[in-house]
Amino acid sequence: MNHEALNLEEKFSRFSEHWSPRVIAEMNDTQFKLVKAKGEFVWHSHSDTDEVFIVISGVLDIEFRDGNIRLEAGEMFVVPKGVEHRPVAREECRLMLMEPKGVVNTGDIGGDLTAENDIWV
């Protein structure tokens, strides 16, 4: 068995693209992805699954149709299945996402910010 710790800082150092999730681990069918966020993402939702955001550094705002939330380092939020949301990072923010394998970053909406899926780092 592999006995190597996954170090988040080391994994973040391997890529620089914004809004481009990189998979670092799987637990059963759930994937753990690192994201560097900067600027405004698109409004979207995931009709099949909840989605977890944990902020590792920086500040992430998540806008909802009925209000906003601000997440700082050490804070997390579960966006419920089907709920429209738009992540916004005024400065670069580093975060970890947890969601089932196969989830696309722009959900049901598509568009220019749609990232290739299942890229490991």
> Could you tell me which residues come within 8 angstroms of residue 10 by beta carbon, excluding any fewer than 6 positions away?
none
Nearer to its own copies, 39 or 80 (CB): 80
CA–CA gap between residue 91 and residue 40 (Å, rounded): 10
- Which residues are CB-contacts of 107 (< 8 A; sequence separation ≥ 6)? 44, 45, 46, 47
Q: From the CB of 51, what's the least distance to its own copies, in Å?
A: 7
CB of 37 to its own copies, least distance (A): 16
Interface residues with its own copies (CB under 8 A) are 1, 3-9, 24-28, 30, 32, 49-52, 64, 66-72, 74-78, 80-81, 83, 98-100
